[in-house]
């Protein structure tokens, strides 16, 4: 192997904030050889993205990088943006996490990919068009010729990520930096994109730097891996070695962060709590000019399910499968057809006013721990809000006591109840959201992707917390997730959804071990292929 093409030595990144200096990267050494794939793994806040942003000269305006970054023998740190442009976009390219927002919505695909060619390489329009077509075919976009004039919103998430990759490849870079390239995508799409990147690397011989929090991806694609925590590299080495013989405690923790165990089944003969029959949710697209409704989307199509007390039903599906819509319909947060009964009482005919007393027993925890807490209220106010509604007679002191009790249950320090949500980490915020649901002592909790936005180690803690709370309070969960590993650890029965319909339904173990339907099998293959960590850990 030849010398490293990209070499990072003793890199420090510091941010000036109103609260003082934040030292995000603390002396990182890292090197990438030609044609090699490395992965930088770490949880959020570990500084893994900041390293690559400083390589590209894209740090936020209050950030400063010191140390050395050498690309093909040339020092990049301290170069003016203009000098840096000789490398970035040309020999150093980057793709980002969010394919929805990294493309300009007002430009056609051809212009987005072609403009850099015209400006950087001085190609003619016609030559650029041929090259764009070539690139689109290279990244596997079907009917590439027709797609030239498409706008980004006409493409799916996976296709958009392919376009991003095509843009990055346009100038035949030596190093491709991929910052969480598949995190926003469904598992099946994720597998395809990773496959594509692997193919491209073999054909074009470039080096790839993966930044990811997902160990499954690392194992799948990388030659070498750097494990980061708190702005420092904890451990690095060949993927096999790291996975089989992790030396650092943090690496071991990461490797064992897969949610473990399964849920104990509810006692037989538990009463039926919530029952839904033939639920249907139809969204009508906005009316045309003449007031005639043109099209309707069946988001949930003829779904039935039943929940006994203490049971957890997992609903699995990719984005757009209607799983979240189903959850909201069950709680009458959306108008739905069909019959939904809570303890034998039909909810579908009740208006919001008569439904209100029931709301205290039917609670929700949402996916986004950043969006589900009102940013201008203190934690105490957020958690106590339900009590104001449903137990209006409580005095302020008594309400505070109940809030503290709920915070204790989710293992948050009640000292912080006068703080605001933005002062907490993602995992802590999710605990606050759980406390908000628990304070009313509900019987049913809808968990809508409660762990998806969290790091693996935090995920594991939240899963364990949810299971413990269920045990303690005889809670019933409807657990919605796209993450099969988490569902496996949480649910008694699993329901697989696609395009609003139930594809397969059954006890968790059977679904995971003997899937009947093709779609389920594809889903499992894509997902479990990427999370072999447990299997490897138990095998060794």
Partner 1 sequence: MTDAVVPTEQVAGKSLWRDAWLRLRANRAAMTSLFLLVIIALACVFGPMLSPHPYDRVYQAYVKVPPSVSPRPSDAEVERALETALRRGGVEIEGAVVEGGVVQVTLTSEREIDPRVTRLIDRSDVFSEASVLSQSTDGRRLVLSAMVNQNRFLMGTDQNGRDLLTRILIGGRVSLTIGILATLVALAIGVTYGAISGYMGGRVDNMMMRIVDVLYSLPFMFFVIMLVVFFGRNFVLMFIAVGAIEWLDMARIVRGQTLSLKRREFVEAAQAMGVRTPAIIRRHIVPNTLGPVVVYMTLMVPKVILLESFLSFLGLGVQEPLTSWGVLISEGAKNIQGASWLLIYPSLFLAVTLFCLNFIGDGLRDALDPKDR
Which of 49/159 has CB closer to partner 1? 49
Which of 17/124 has CB closer to partner 1? 17
Biggest alpha carbon distance in the chain? 75
User: Shortest gap between Cβ of 343 and partner 1 (angstroms)?
Assistant: 17
User: Shortest gap between Cβ of 347 and partner 1 (angstroms)?
Assistant: 13
Which of 96/416 has CB closer to partner 1? 416
Number of residues that bind partner 1 (CB under 8 A): 53
Backbone phi, psi, residue 94, to 5°: -140, 140
Please name every residue paired with 506 in a beta bridge, in sequence order, or none if there are none. 494
User: Shortest gap between Cβ of 418 and partner 1 (angstroms)?
Assistant: 5
In 3D, which of 229, 273, 260, 249 has the Cα closest to residue 26?
229
Specify whether the backbone of 174 is left (phi greater than 0), alpha (psi in -120 to 50) or beta: alpha
Quickly list H helices, 290-415.
Answer: 323-330, 352-359, 379-390, 396-409
Q: How many Å is the Cα radius of gyration of the chain? A: 25
Which of 236/402 has CB closer to partner 1? 402
Here's the x/- map for partner 1, 17-56, by CB under 8 A: it reads as: -x--------------------------------------
Judge contact between 216 and 247, C-beta under 8 A.
Answer: no
Residues 6+ apart with CB under 8 A from 496: 316, 317, 502, 503, 504, 505, 511, 517, 519, 520, 523
Judge contact between 491 and 451, C-beta under 8 A.
Answer: no
Please name every residue paired with 477 in a beta bridge, in sequence order, or none if there are none. 312, 445
d(CA 384, CA 402): 8
When binding is defined by CB under 8 A, the residue of 355, 394, 522, 537 that contacts partner 1 is 355
Angle 127-131-134 (CA atoms, 0-180°, nearest 5)? 145
Which of 161/372 has CB closer to partner 1? 372
Please name every residue paired with 314 in a beta bridge, in sequence order, or none if there are none. 479, 494
Which of 89/450 has CB closer to partner 1? 450
Pull the structure tokens for residue 352: 């919001």
Which of 97/493 has CB closer to partner 1? 97
User: Site residues for partner 1, window 296-325 (CB under 8 A)?
Assistant: none
Which of 232/368 has CB closer to partner 1? 368
- Quick one: how far is CA 233 from the chain centroid? 24
**How many CB atoms are closer than 10 A to CB 395?**
8
Q: Give yes or no for residue 241 binding partner 1 (CB under 8 A).
A: no
Residues 6+ apart with CB under 8 A from 277: 304, 338, 339, 340, 341
d(CA 62, CA 22): 10
User: Shortest gap between Cβ of 160 and partner 1 (angstroms)?
Assistant: 22
Tokens 């309400």 sit at which residue?
399
User: Shortest gap between Cβ of 293 and partner 1 (angstroms)?
Assistant: 15
Which of 143/376 has CB closer to partner 1? 376
User: Site residues for partner 1, window 430-459 (CB under 8 A)?
Assistant: 433, 436, 440, 446
User: Site residues for partner 1, window 520-539 (CB under 8 A)?
Assistant: none
Residues 6+ apart with CB under 8 A from 356: 389
User: Shortest gap between Cβ of 98 and partner 1 (angstroms)?
Assistant: 15
Which of 149/471 has CB closer to partner 1? 471
User: Shortest gap between Cβ of 303 and partner 1 (angstroms)?
Assistant: 20
User: Shortest gap between Cβ of 376 and partner 1 (angstroms)?
Assistant: 4
Element (H, E) at 64: strand 63-71
User: Shortest gap between Cβ of 291 and partner 1 (angstroms)?
Assistant: 13
When binding is defined by CB under 8 A, the residue of 356, 509, 514, 518 that contacts partner 1 is 356
d(CA 433, CA 368): 10
Residues 6+ apart with CB under 8 A from 178: 94, 95, 197, 208, 209, 210, 211
User: Site residues for partner 1, window 365-424 (CB under 8 A)?
Assistant: 366-368, 371-379, 385-386, 388-390, 397, 400-402, 404-405, 408-409, 414-420, 422-423
User: Site residues for partner 1, window 163-192 (CB under 8 A)?
Assistant: none
Quickly list H helices, 12-85.
Answer: 48-55, 81-84
User: Shortest gap between Cβ of 340 and partner 1 (angstroms)?
Assistant: 14
Pull the structure tokens for residue 68: 């050395």
Q: Which span (30-38, 77-85, 336-344, 362-370) binds partner 1, by CB under 8 A? A: 362-370
Q: Which span (96-104, 164-172, 355-363, 509-517) binds partner 1, by CB under 8 A? A: 355-363
User: Site residues for partner 1, window 71-130 (CB under 8 A)?
Assistant: none
Which of 352/538 has CB closer to partner 1? 352
User: Shortest gap between Cβ of 222 and partner 1 (angstroms)?
Assistant: 32
Strands of 88-199, DSSP E: 92-95, 175-179
Which of 349/353 has CB closer to partner 1? 353
Which of 33/377 has CB closer to partner 1? 377
In 3D, which of 109, 110, 102 has the Cα closest to residue 155?
109
When binding is defined by CB under 8 A, the residue of 69, 331, 434, 454 that contacts partner 1 is 331
Which residues make up the interface to partner 1 (CB under 8 A)?
18, 60-62, 328, 331, 333, 355-357, 359-360, 362-364, 366-368, 371-379, 385-386, 388-390, 397, 400-402, 404-405, 408-409, 414-420, 422-423, 433, 436, 440, 446
């Amino acid at each position: 192997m030849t010398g490293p093409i990209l070499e990072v030595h003793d890199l420090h990144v510091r941010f000036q904030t109103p609260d003082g200096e934040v030292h995000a990267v603390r002396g990182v050494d890292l090197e990438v050889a030609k044609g090699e794939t490395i992965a930088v793994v770490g949880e959020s806040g570990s500084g893994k993205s900041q390293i690559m942003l400083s390589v590209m000269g894209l740090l936020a305006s209050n950030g400063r990088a010191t140390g050395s970054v050498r690309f093909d023998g040339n020092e990049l740190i301290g170069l003016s943006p203009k000098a840096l442009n000789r490398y970035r976009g040309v020999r150093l390219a980057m793709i980002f996490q969010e394919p929805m927002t990294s493309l300009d919505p007002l430009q056609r695909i051809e212009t987005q990919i072609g403009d850099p060619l015209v400006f950087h390489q001085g190609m003619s329009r016609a030559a650029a068009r041929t090259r764009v077509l070539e690139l689109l075919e290279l990244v596997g976009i079907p009917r590439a010729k027709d797609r030239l004039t498409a706008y980004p919103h006409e493409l799916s998430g996976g296709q958009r990520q392919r376009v991003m990759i095509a843009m990055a490849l346009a100038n035949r870079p030596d190093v491709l930096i991929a910052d969480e390239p598949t995190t926003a995508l469904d598992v099946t799409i994720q597998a395809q994109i990773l496959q594509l990147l692997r193919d491209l690397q073999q054909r074009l011989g470039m080096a790839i730097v993966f930044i990811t929090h997902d160990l499954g991806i690392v194992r799948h694609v990388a030659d070498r891996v750097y494990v980061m925590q708190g702005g420092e590299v904890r451990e690095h080495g060949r993927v096999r070695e790291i996975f089989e013989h992790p030396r650092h405690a943090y690496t071991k923790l990461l490797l064992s962060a897969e949610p473990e165990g399964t849920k104990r089944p509810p006692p037989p003969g538990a009463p039926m709590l919530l029952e839904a029959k033939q639920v249907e949710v139809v969204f009508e697209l906005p009316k045309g000019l003449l007031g005639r409704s043109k099209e309707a989307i069946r988001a949930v199509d003829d779904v039935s399910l039943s929940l006994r007390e203490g049971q957890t039903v997992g609903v699995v599906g990719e984005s757009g499968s209607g799983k979240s819509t189903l959850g909201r319909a069950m709680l009458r947060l959306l108008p739905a057809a069909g019959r939904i009964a809570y303890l034998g009482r039909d909810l579908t005919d009740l208006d919001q006013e008569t439904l209100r007393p029931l709301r205290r027993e039917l609670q929700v925890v949402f996916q986004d721990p950043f969006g589900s807490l009102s940013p201008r209220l203190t934690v105490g106010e957020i958690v106590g809000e339900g009590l104001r509604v449903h137990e209006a007679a409580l005095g302020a002191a008594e309400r505070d006591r109940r809030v503290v009790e709920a915070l204790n249950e989710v293992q948050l320090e009640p000292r912080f109840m006068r703080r605001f949500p933005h002062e907490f980490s993602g995992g802590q915020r999710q605990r606050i959201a759980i406390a908000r649901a628990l304070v009313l002592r509900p019987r049913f909790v809808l968990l809508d992707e409660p762990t998806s936005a969290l790091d693996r180690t935090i995920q594991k803690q939240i899963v364990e917390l949810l299971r413990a709370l269920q045990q303690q309070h005889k809670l019933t969960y409807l657990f919605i997730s796209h993450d099969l590993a988490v569902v496996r650890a949480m649910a008694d029965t699993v329901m697989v959804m696609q395009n609003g319909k139930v594809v397969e339904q059954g006890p968790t173990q059977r679904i995971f071990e003997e899937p009947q339907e093709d779609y389920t099998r594809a889903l499992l293959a894509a997902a479990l292929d990427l999370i072999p960590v447990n299997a490897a850990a138990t095998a060794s």
